[in-house]
Structure 1
Amino acid sequence: MTLTRRSFLAGTLLAGGSLWAASSLWRPSAAAESRQLKIPELIDARDKSQSVVLKAQIGKTSFFPGRESVTLGYNGSYLGPTLRVHRGDDVEMVVTNALGEDTTVHWHGLLIPGELDGGPHQTIRSGSTWRPVLPIRQPAATLWYHSHIHGRTGEQVYAGLAGLLIVSDDDERALGLPSEYGVDDLPLILQDRQFENGTLVLPQGMMSVMHGRRGDTLMVNGTVNPTARVPRGLVRLRLVNGSNAREYDLAFADDRPFHWIASEGGLLDKPVELRTLRLAPGERAEILADFSDGRPATLETGPDGNLPMMMGMMTAAANLGRIGRETVVRFEPQGKPALESKVPDRLHAYERLDEVKAVRRRRFVMNMGMGGMMRGGPSMGGMMRGGMGMLGINGRTFDMGRVDEQVRLGDIEVWEVSGDMMAHPFHIHGVHFEVLSRNGSAPGIRDQGLRDTVVAQGPVELLVKFTQTAMASPFMYHCHILEHEDNGMMGQFSVS
C-alpha cells in the first residue's frame, strides 16, 4: 500500500464503505453556510518565461469549518491553479510527483503528440519530475488537466488532482469578450463529493464501479454552497464537469436566458441562446450570463438524468441527491451597471471537415457486463477475472500492451460510438471532432462546435481528423465516467 493510500486511510478518505450505506445523521446541506467562491490562482505561462511548475502533493482541506479531509492537489491541498497558455508558444511543464504513488497529468483537450499527452503511458514515478514541452497550436479554448494513471484515475481525481487549462489567442481577444480572470471571467469546476461528519470519503463497492462515484454534496472550485460577486454586466462562465460520473442539467432559478459561446474545442460560429445546458463528465462549455439588472441569480442543476431507475431509487433511499433542483452557485451583482452589455453576433468560423474525404469507418460500443456478452463479448468468467473487469469497448477490456486501432496521420475518419445500459461520455485524446448524427438523425443543438467529449448511448457518428502523431505512445479513447475508464472501458490507438 502506498504512502498516499495509507494517508487516505488515516485521514478517513477511504472510510465509510459503500456509497449506498445508510447516511450519517450529520447533513452537509444543512451544515453548510454560504461561502465566497474560491478562485484558483492564475499562472500565465508568459509571465513564467514559458516554464510552469506544478507539484502533485498530499494536503488537508477544510470543506466545512473545523473538519479536515486528506486531499490531493497541484501546488496546494485541493485542485490546482488555472494555467493560461497562448497559441503559437512552446510551454515547458515541470511536474513533480510528491504523492508517494505513481501519477500522470493529462492535458485534456490539448492537441499535442502522444508522448506529451499525459495518458497512462507517461507515468510520473513518486519523487520524480516530468518536463514535457507542449507546442500550443490550437485556437482559444477552455481545457483542463487531471490525473490519468491507469486503475486509479477516479481515486486521484476524486481526491483533487484536476485544474483548468486556458488557451488564449489574438482572434479571441479581438472579440472583446469578458476576460478579467476571477472578475468577469470565472472558472467553475463542478464536482459532487460524499461526506461523512464533514469529512470527504471515497465511495466503494460494486455500484460505484458500475455507475461511477457520486456524492451527496455539490462543490464549485472546491467550495461548498458558493456565492460569487460579479459585476453588473456580461460575465463569462467557464464550466467544467469535473465530477467522476454525475451529469448536470444547468439553468438559472429565474429562468433567465444565457448565451453558449464555446464547446470543448473553442468558440462556436455564433452565440446560441439557451435556458438549460446539460454537461456530462469531461465536457466543458463557456457561457455568457447577463447580470446587468443587478438582481441576484442562482445557477441550479436538476437531478442526474443518467442514473438507471433502480440506482436512482437507491440514491434517494441513501439520501444522496435531492428531489427537484439543487443550487450550484449563487451570483451577487455588484457596483454600477456596465456601460454596454452586448453579446457579439459572430464569434469564430472554424474550418469544417468534409465527410466525403473520410477514408474509414470504425464502430465502438462501450460495454457493461451482460450487455457486452449479448453483443458477442467475452464470457462471464473472462469478464470477472481480475475483479471488476466486466467493462470494456467492443467486448474487450483495456490492455496497456495492446494497440486496438491504427490510424494514419492526416486521415479523416467516421467513428460511430454507442453504449450499453446508460449514456456514456466518450473522450478521444489528441483530436477534435464534429458530430455528424445522433440516433440516425441530425445532431442536437448541443452537438455543434468542435468537441473532444460527447455523450453516447444510441449511435452517435463523429467526423474525426487525426493531426497529431502517436507512435512512441498511443492515444486513449474511453468513457469519461472515471470508474468505467479505470475498470476497462478504454482502448488505445496509434497515429503514424
Structure 2
Amino acid sequence: MGTQIHGSRTAQEFHSWTPTIPATTRDSYSRCTAGDAKSGIRRRQSRRFPNVSTSEPQTSSLASPAMTKQHRPAQNAVHSTPSRQPAMPLPVTLSSDVAGRPVSRRVMLRGLGALALLGTAAGAGLPLATSARAAAATGTLTIPTLLESTTDSTGTLVYTLAMQAGTTEILSGVSSETAGFNQAFLGPAIKVTKGDTVQMDITNNLSAVSTVHWHGAHIPPSVDGGPQNTIEAGATFSPSFEINQDACTLWFHPHALTTTAEQIASGLVGMLIVDDDSAGAAALPNDYGTDQFPLIIQSLPISSAGAILSTTAGLLARTTSFPLLVNGSNVGVDGTPTLTVDASRVRFHILNASITDIITISVSDGSSFTQVASDAALLSAPLSVTSLQLVGGERAEICIDVTSAAAVTLQATVTAGGARGGSGTSQIVTITSTATSAAASLPDSLATFTALDVSSPAATRTIALSNSGNTMYINGVAGISMTAMEASDIMTTLGATEVWTITNATGLTHSFHLHDVPFQVQTIDGDKPTGAYAEWKDTILIGPNSTNVIAMQFTDYADNDYYYMLHCHNAIHEDEGMMAMLMVMSS
C-alpha cells in the first residue's frame, strides 16, 4: 500500500464571505490585466502564483459600484461590435404543464435582454440590446445558441466569449441584474470533437475580476480557469488547449475566490459538449437543435425585489424564493415548454447549474428513460432508470424515445442543498414528435470502462470536510485565499494512482468536484456504488455524515507552478472555504 497522507489542520482564523477579498488573497494569485490582453497570465511574482497584482482591490460586484444597490443598466446602451456575433437562437415550439425537473430550452433568450458593458477591453464590445423579457411568449422554447468558431492558420478553432452584465425579468414584472456570456443571462453552447485544438478568447466586460473554468475538462492547470487564472475587468485572456477526452458533457463558469456563487447564480454559465468518432457516440442523437439539446437547470435564490442571492444569509431571508429555471426560463411564470421534434429519439445534455440545490429528473407518468452518460464519459452501456439525481455541477445525458403516438413530459423535483432552498416538483418539458416509426435499439455497448488498479496506490489521503458555522473547511483549512490553501496543498506526481477517503462531518450535503481528472467511486459508506456512480465521475454527492472513497490517476499534465482545485460545488460552501489545491508535479 502507498503512504498514508493526511491534510494538516492549522489554527487560523478565517472570515465568512464578504464582498471584498482580503489583501492576503489578492497578494497570492495570478491575474490577467488589460495589459495582458490575448496573452493570458505569464508574469511571476511568487513561486507558484504568476502574474500577481495588488494595485487595486478585487470586488465581488458584477456591475459598477453605482449598480450594487438598486441601479439598473441603461437601456439601449451602444456597444462596439465584436469580431463575430453569436448566431440567433434556434426557436422551438413549447407549451405548459407542471411537475418536476428542469429541461426547458430557452436558455439563451433570457440573455438577449439589456446588455450593459461596464468595462471594455480594447477592441471588444457587445451589440446594442434593450431590456426585454427572455422567452416572453409561453410556449416558445429557445435553444442555447451554438457558438461558431473561426479557424486560424494553425488549424486552431477560435471561440469568442464576452462576459457581460445585463438585466433579465426572472420574476414576473421584476427586473433582475444578471450576467452572461455574449448576452445578458447564461451563454451559448460550444460543441467540439476529441482531438480539436481550441482557443477561447475571453473578454471580461464586467467591473469585477472573474475567471472561466472548464468544468470536467482534462487540460493543463495553466488554462483550467481556476482562481489562478483571474481576468481583470476590461482584460482578455486567450487560453488554448487540446480536447483530450472522449465524448462527454462539460460546462464553463467563473471560479474567482469567494465570488463563484454570485457569478454563477447571476448567469455566467454555458455548456461545452465533447463529441468523438466512437461507435457508441455515433449511435446517439447528434444533430444539435434537431434531436440533441442542452438543458441547463437552476433552482435560483432570488428576493421579491429581483436580487439574485448567493450567500447563506440570502438563502435564509424571508423574502427569498427559489424559482426553477430551464435554459433561463422560469417555468413557474412562463409555463412548461413543449418541444416538437421530427425524430423518434432525442438526447438531452442535462446540467444542474444550481448553486446549492439538488435536482431529480423523472418522467411525469413514472416510466423509464435511458441514461447514456454521466458527467465524465459515456456509460459502458445504456442504463434504464426511472429517476436521475444531480447535485450542483453534475451532468448527465439521457435519451427519450418518442413518436407521434404519445408525448413525453419530463419533470424535475428540487431538494434543498443548503441552509434553505427550493422544493417541489415541476414539469419542465413536454416532447412531441412527428415521427411515426420507433427508434432503433441502442447498442448494448457505448464505451469501454476499465476499473483503476488500486491494489498499490501511490498515496492514500483523507479529505475531511467540516465547518464552524458558515465557515467551511477541507482538512482544517478554509480555502478563501491562495495563501491559506497553499499551507495545506496536496502534492502528487504525474502518473500516480491515488485513493482518497472523503469524510463529511458537517451534517450538510456537499457536491464534491475534482479538477483535471475524473475519478472512480470505490465505496459509499462502505457499500459499492451502483449505476452511473460505478463508472467515471468528476462531481458527486457527499451525504451528511457520510464517507466516500474515490480513486483517480493523474495523467498527461504536470506543472510545478499551477494548481488544480478540489472543492464543494455547492458554490456557497466553496465561497465559505470548502476548497483546497492540488499540484501535479513531473517528479
- TM-score if structure 2 supplies the norm length? 0.71
The one-letter amino acid of 1:431's match is V
Q: Secondary structure at the match of 1:471?
A: coil
Q: Tell me: CA distance 1:451–1:215, structure 2 relative to 1, closer, same or farther (3 Å).
A: farther
Q: CA deviation at 1:68?
A: 2.9
User: Do the aligned partners of residues 254 and 56 (structure 1) sit closer, same or farther apart at CA in structure 2, a change above 3 Å counting?
Assistant: same
Q: Distance in 2 between matches of 1:5 and 1:479?
A: 29
Q: Secondary structure at the match of 2:278?
A: helix
Deviation of 1:256 after TM superposition, in Å, equals: 1.6
Structure 1 letter corresponding to 2:542: A
Matched, 1:269 2:374: no
Give the match for residue 123 of structure 1: 230
Query: Relative to structure 1, is the Cα distance of residues 344 and 75 closer, same or farther in structure 2, using a 3 angstrom cutoff?
Result: same
User: Where do 1:50-69 residues align within 5 Å?
Assistant: 50-63=157-170, 67-69=174-176
Partner of 2:69: 9
Matched, 1:326 2:408: no
Structure 2 equivalent of residue 378 of structure 1: none
Q: SS at 1:391's partner residue?
A: strand
- The 1:200–1:299 alpha-carbon spacing in structure 2 relative to 1, beyond 3 Å, is farther
Kindly state the Cα deviation for residue 187 of structure 1 after the two structures are TM-superposed.
0.1
Q: Is the contact between residue 92 and residue 131 of structure 1 (CA under 8 Å) also seen in structure 2? A: yes
- 1:484 matched residue in structure 2: 573
- Give me the whole-angstrom Cα distance separating, in 2, the residues matched to 1:5 and 1:290: 50
- Could you say if the C-alpha distance between residues 159 and 406 of structure 1 is closer, same or farther in structure 2, counting changes exceeding 3 Å? same
Question: After superposition, where does 1:262-301 map in structure 2 within 5 Å?
Answer: 262-292=373-403, 294-301=405-412
Paired residue secondary structure (1:483): helix
Deviation of 1:454 after TM superposition, in Å, equals 1.2
Please give the residue correspondences for 1:190-205 in structure 2 after superposition, counting only pairs within 5 Å: 190-196=297-303, 199-202=306-309, 204-205=311-312
Inter-partner Cα distance in structure 1 for 2:149 and 2:534: 30
Whether the 8 Å CA contact 1:366–1:392 is kept in 2: the answer is yes
Return the offset for 1:67.
3.9
**Matched letter for residue 141 of structure 2:** L
Identify which of 475, 478, 481 aligns with 1:394: 475
Q: CA deviation at 1:90?
A: 1.2
Deviation per residue, 1:390-440 (Å, 9 max, x gap): 211111111302431101111000011122212211001111111111101
The alignment partner of 1:154 has SS state of helix
Contact 1:153 1:482 in 2 (8 A): yes
Per the TM alignment, residue 337 of structure 1 is displaced from its structure 2 partner at its CA by 2.2
Counterpart for residue 219 of structure 1 = 325
Which structure features the higher share of helix residues? 1
Distance in 1 (alpha carbons) for counterparts of 2:320 and 2:581: 27
Q: How far did 1:321 drift?
A: 3.2
Question: Structure 2 CA distance, aligned partners of 1:161 and 1:207?
Answer: 19
Instruction: Provide the residue aligned with 2:458 in structure 1.
Output: 359
Tell me, yes or no, if the aligned pair for 1:414 and 1:462 is still in contact at 8 Å. Answer: yes
Counterpart secondary structure, 2:446: coil
1:337 is paired with a residue whose SS is: coil
Shift in Å at residue 295 of structure 1?
2.4
Aligned counterpart for 1:242 among listed residues 353, 356, 369:
353
Q: Whole-Å Cα distance in 2 between the matches of residues 461 and 199 of structure 1?
A: 41
Match of 2:246 among 127, 139, 142: 139
Aligned equivalents of 2:456, 2:445: Cα separation in 1: 28
CA distance in 2, matches of 1:114, 1:239: 26
Per the alignment, residue 534 of structure 2 pairs with 448
* Pair 1:41 & 2:145 matched: yes
Cα distance in structure 2, aligned partners of 1:364 and 1:101: 32
Alpha-carbon distance in structure 2 between the residues aligned to 1:222 and 1:287? 20
CA distance in 2, matches of 1:142, 1:46: 22
Which of 472, 481, 490 matches 1:405? 490
TM-score normalized with structure 1 length? 0.84
Q: Percent identity?
A: 31
Q: Is the 8 A contact 1:479 1:485 kept in 2?
A: yes
CA distance in 1 between counterparts of 2:412 and 2:435 reads 29
Q: Which amino acid is 2:554 matched to? A: F
Gap runs ≥5 in structure 1? 14-28, 371-387
Give the conservation status (yes or no) of the 8 Å contact 2:310–2:572.
Answer: no
Pairing of 1:103-122 with structure 2 (within 5 A)? 103-122=210-229
Structure 2 CA distance for aligned equivalents of residues 394 and 331 of structure 1: 45
Higher strand share: 1
CA, structure 1 residues 431+6, in 2 after alignment: closer, same or farther (shift >3 Å)?
farther
Match of 1:432? 518
